[in-house]
Amino acid sequence: MRFAVNALNFGLHGSAETLAAWAHNAEEAGFHAVMVSDHVAVTPDVAEQYRAPFYDPFATLAWLAARTERVRLGTTVAILPYRSPLLTARMAANIDHFSGGRFILGVGISWPRQEYAALGVPFAKRGRIADDYLAAITELWTRDTASIDTPSVSFADVQTGPRPLQDPHPPIWVGGNSRAAAVRAVRFGTGWHPINVTPGWLAEEGLPMLRAAAEREGRPVPALHPRIALPQEGLDAGGLRRVRDDLLAFEDLGADWVLFDSYAGKPELQRPFTEDWAMFETLADRVLDLGGGTVR
């Protein structure tokens, strides 16, 4: 397995300095990827979970590409319907070049109705829009001149080069725990990126749902890349044991990436960066064999 760090690009302790520290520390420790979140308009429903300031993921990762050398950089997750697919494809391909082929595009559709309204994007159509945008992004990434005609996006003979450095394109991690997200992952993704899941749910519900979607679509089952929450109370002996047990179970289920999230989901519970990073140091020292890509 490979292990990734969710760098908090929002809230009371979000700053350019802390984002640089997340990336530097993760790379020095040997973590395999640093990923950041996405919201464009911090409307009241967004602010209940994620407070401003909220740093743009693409601008942030372009900046971090110049400050790192080895660690992969990605989004968990970019909200597809918020941006034209021509813009997303172009920005992502640029970051792939700036980073020397280290970019991962994690995508999703998210939940804030007020944010969708503020951006003028129809909330009820967000799933269809996401599917059409992924089709467009893949087309733009794999052709010098692309054309597409779908209900959500239509263009002809468009160039957004340079094409990505990775061949045929950067990994696409499709986020979401629903059946529709599983189908989207099968159709468009290199990996499925369910959020805050347990091994038990994956074994009993999530993976059977993913396999059934792949069978219906006649496509391969995407790789498993879950994002998991670290214990809110910290990593005492009991917390370390739970994380280790979960990682061993994820490994048995075939996960080849696990993204660790230290954010407790409520702005008032957000810890300073130094406290969050101490949890990752403990993980690296006590639980993870980062060089070997396994659990101690």
Q: What percent helix, strand, coil does the chain show, rounded to 5?
A: 45, 20, 35
Give the distance from CA 78 to its chain's centroid.
7
Assess whether pLDDT exceeds 90 at residue 233. Answer: no
Band of residue 255 on the pLDDT scale cut at 50, 70, 90: very high
d(CA 274, CA 255): 29
Q: What is the dihedral of CA 25, 27, 31, 36, to 10 degrees?
A: 80
The answer to which of 46-50, 131-135, 172-176, 231-235 has the lowest mean pLDDT is 231-235
Residues 23-55: tens digit of each pLDDT? 999 999 999 999 999 999 999 999 999 999 999
d(CA 176, CA 52): 23
Residues 264-285: tens digit of each pLDDT? 999 999 999 999 999 999 999 9
Assess whether pLDDT exceeds 90 at residue 203. Answer: yes
Q: Does pTM top 0.95 for this prediction?
A: yes
Helix (H) or strand (E) holding 79: strand 78-79
d(CA 189, CA 243): 27
